[in-house]
Structure formats: structure tokens, C-alpha cells
Chains A and B, each alone.
Chain A
Amino acid sequence: MKVAFAIEAGDGLNAQVCPNFGRAPRFLIVDSKDNSTEVLENKAAQEAHGAGTGAAAMISKHGVQAIVAGRFGPKAFDALSAAEIAMYEAPADQTVKTVLVQIQAGTLKKL
């Protein structure tokens, strides 16, 4: 399963979850098969309007099954729901590694 994480900075499993989805500076895509990672800069982050839908469009192009952020805005929620990508909200100070373990263990609830 490929899981995208909204992150502030960094490029590895120790990166911290970003509080916002649409305006997150970048996304870290983790393939849970082998924990390999890929960084995606969020081009929509600086948009005056539509950052959430722009980020959702970008994420959906990358074939991820789930996305993690501190919170999702209403339009981003609609877009990600339509794209059938599972959303997880996680506290912003947690690392990608910690949250990934919770998702795999089924202890973090889907939105």
C-alpha cells in the first residue's frame, strides 16, 4: 500500500506530519511493502484559492491509497473522497514512522 504524508520538511520516515493538508509544503509517499519513500513538492501550497483541491488532484495522480495530515479542509475532503483515497488525521508532532505503524496496526481511525 502507498501512503502519502503531508510533511513540513525532511524526506525520510522521521519527518513530522504537517498540520494542514492543502498547504503542506511537501508530501512524503511511503510504500509500505519496503518502506521506500518518494518526496513530492506541493505546487498548490501557495495558491490563493483551491490549495486543497489542487493538492488532492496531485496526490490522486500518484496512485496512493491513503493520505495522512493534521487536518483536511472541506473541499480537500470532498476531492479525496471522490478519488477514493482514505484519509487519516494525525497529531502534527508525530513522525511518519509512528503514524505508519498505527495505520498498519489498525489503531488510527479513517475519516
Chain B
Amino acid sequence: MRIAIASGKGGTGKTLIATSLAVHWAKQGKAVTYVDADVEEPNGHLFLRPTFEKTTRHTVPVPRLAGFCDGCAKCQDACAFNAIIALKERVQVFDELCHSCGACVNACPHNSLKLQPRELGDLRHGMAKNINFIDGLLDVGEARATPLIEGVVEAADGELVIIDSPPGASCPAVTAIRGADIAVLITEPTLFGVHDLDLAVQVCQKLNVPPIIVLNRANLGGDMMDAIKATGAPLVAQIDFDPQISVATARGELAIDVVPGFADAIANIADAIVVSEVVS
């Protein structure tokens, strides 16, 4: 079972819930893989503290001119992303716009374009006690996060895969959620939280991934129950704000290990996920 932990709005508690679920299921003896798909700002390792065993450089193919060019611009016309432009007797490739589709390579009448690997960042494998740990670390200044997110998501398999997704409702979040069996959307009772939750629900519906909602810091902010209901996704659990959780998190500790009662809240969410998966 593949479980995407996502949100829409940032800072709602995705990593808190995702790492806690990993610890919860691992304690039950289940084979758990935790995937940190937030490759621009991966934080899961700060809490699970894995020992990294293997780090590989993740690459994407990009076209390079390796032969005769008369500037015919057939490659430029074939590119849907304006990533290659034809000059007098050469081409210029804009790597950060290139989606590695290879259309330009096929279009070149002289067969002069070759795909070459371009590095985007690190893909890391490790173990955190008995939790399989995978994350990605995008190079600073790199514009293309989605191929590395695909890399980390595809690297994970096993009985239970928890995908700690990036926030938002665009390509990075879509890439992390796509292919999951269920999406757990973490929100908070604020206008921002619920507004972005609605977008995240719509993303899940387009991806055919059934969404369920967990309301974090439920006793803070306003009454958002009607707005949450209006998204059409079921609210399966609520966690009240507890300063002890914040303190533990600020210290990089696992709240599930040190805050009384929090383990029960996580157990409830874990049960709700399993039940929702069976129902859907």
C-alpha cells in the first residue's frame, strides 16, 4: 500500500504525521518504507536520523549537438517547451526548460542531436532503525525538481510505503501523489489551510487517488468544519495542538516517542488509513 501524505498549504504537519506513521507501523513489526519526496527541502531525515548506505547522482537526459547543423530549426519546431532554439549553424538548449522527451532528437534530419545525462541531485537510501529510508536532495539552484521526485518515488517498494510529499498543488505535489493508493491530506483550521486543502482534494480527484483529511491543531484557529465538508473528502482524524509536540519537533525529536497521548492520535490515523483503503 502506497500512502501519500500531502497538504496543499505548507507547514500543516506532513512530516510530523508521515514520520510518526512510519515509526508507528515499524513498531508493529511491519515493513515500512519512508520516502521524503520534498526534494527541495527534505526534513524527514532530521527526525528519523537514518544511516545513509547508498547515495547516487540522479540524472535526466538532455540533448546536445554532436554533429552537422544547418540551423533548419526542425528541433525548435518539435519542442513543446521552447527549450531548444536554432541558431545559424548550431542550437542552444535551455536545460531547465527541457522535459527530456527526445522529440528534438527524432526531428533532427541529420541525426546530430544526442541525449546526455544531466545531474539534478542526490538520491539517498538508508535505514532508520528498521525503517527503509529514501530521500532526494535537489542541487541548489536546480529548477527541475520533478524528475528527482519521480526517482525517489519509483525507488520505493514494500508492504507499506509512506510518501512525504511536497506542499502545493502543481507538478512537484502531483508527481509525489500520482500512483498512490490513498492520499492523506493534512490541514489546519485556518482560511489558508482550508483554501489550499480544497485545491489538494481537486488534485487527488484528477489523479484518481482517494483523499482523506486529517485536521491538525484542530483546537486552534476557527471553525472550518463546513468548509472542510464542502471539499467532499472525508475528515478521518483530528489532532489538538499540544505545545509538547511543538517543543519535541523543534528539537528534532519524534513526538510519538516523547509526548503522552500523541502515539494514540497517530494510531487512530493509521487505523483510519487502513479502513479507508479497504472501503475505497
A and B are interacting partners: yes
- Interface residue ranges, A against B (CB under 8 Å): 44, 47, 49-54, 56-57, 60-61, 75, 78-79, 82-83
Residue picked from B81, B85, B96, B97, most chain A C-beta under 10 Å: B85
CB–CB B82/A50 < 8 A: yes
Which residues does chain B contribute within 8 Å of A57, judged by CB atoms? Answer: 73, 76, 82, 85-86
- Is there a chain A Cβ closer than 8 Å to B94's Cβ? yes
User: Is B92 interfacial (CB 8 A cutoff)?
Assistant: yes
Whole-angstrom distance between the Cβ of B63 and the nearest chain A Cβ:
14
Would you list the 9 A-B pairs with minimal beta carbon distance, nearest first? A50-B82, A54-B82, A57-B85, A53-B82, A50-B97, A82-B92, A50-B81, A57-B76, A53-B94
What class of interface size applies to chain B in its complex with A?
A: 10 to 19
Q: List 14 A-B contacts (CB under 8 A).
A: A50-B94, A52-B82, A53-B94, A57-B76, A57-B82, A57-B86, A60-B86, A61-B73, A75-B94, A75-B96, A79-B85, A79-B94, A82-B85, A82-B92
> For the complex, what is the distance from the CA of A49 to the CA of B81, rounded to whole Å?
7
The digit string for B50-78, where 1 denotes a CB below 8 A from any CB of A, is: 00000000000000000000000100100
- Interface SS majority for chain B: loop
Please, which residue of chain A has its CB at the minimum distance from the CB of B143? A49
| Docked pose: A54 CA to B92 CA in angstroms | 12
B87 near A83 with CB under 8 A, answer yes
Tell me the number of A-to-B contacts counted with CB atoms below 8 Å: 41
Q: Which residues of B line the A interface, CB within 8 A?
A: 73, 76, 81-83, 85-87, 92, 94, 96-97
- Cα(A52)–Cα(B92), bound, Å: 13
Give the complex CA separation of A54 and B82 in angstroms.
Answer: 5
Q: Is B97 in contact with A60, judged by CB distance below 8 angstroms?
A: no
In the complex, chain A residues whose CB is within 8 Å of the CB of B82: 44, 47, 49-54, 57
Q: Please indicate which of the listed interface residues A51, A53, A60, A82 has the most CB atoms of chain B within 10 Å of its own CB.
A: A53
Q: Within the assembled complex, what's the spacing in Å between the Cα atoms of A57 and B83?
A: 10
Residues of A with C-beta under 8 A to B76: 57
CB of A95, distance to nearest CB on chain B (Å): 29
Measured in the bound complex, the distance between the Cα atoms of B83 and A50 in whole Å is: 7
Tell whether A75 pairs with B73 under 8 Å between CB atoms, given A82-B85, A83-B87.
no
Bound-complex Cα distance A31 to B113 (A): 35
Interface core residue of B82, B83, B92, B97 (most chain A CB under 10 Å): B82
Is the pair A60, B94 in contact by a Cβ cutoff of 8 Å? no
Given A53-B83, A79-B85, A79-B94, 6 more contacts at CB 8 Å? Answer: A49-B97, A50-B83, A50-B97, A57-B86, A60-B86, A78-B92
Q: B99 CB to closest chain A CB, in angstroms?
A: 9
Contact B85 A60 (CB under 8 A): yes
What are the residues of chain A within 8 A of B81 when measuring CB–CB? 49-50
- Least Cβ–Cβ distance between A39 and chain B, in angstroms: 21
Who on chain B is nearest to A61 by CB?
A: B73
Nearest-neighbour CB distance to chain B for A99, whole angstroms, equals 25
A57→B93 CA distance, assembly (Å): 12
Chain B contacts for A51, CB-based, 8 A: 82
For B98, give the chain A residue with the smallest CB separation: A50
Query: Which residues of A lie under 8 Å from residue B87 when comparing CB positions?
Result: 60, 82-83
User: Is B97 in contact with A75, judged by CB distance below 8 angstroms?
Assistant: yes
Q: Is the CB of B86 within 8 A of A53?
A: no
Question: What is the distance, in angstroms, from B89's C-beta to the closest C-beta of chain A?
Answer: 12
Given the complex, which residues of B lie within 8 Å of A52, measured CB to CB? 82
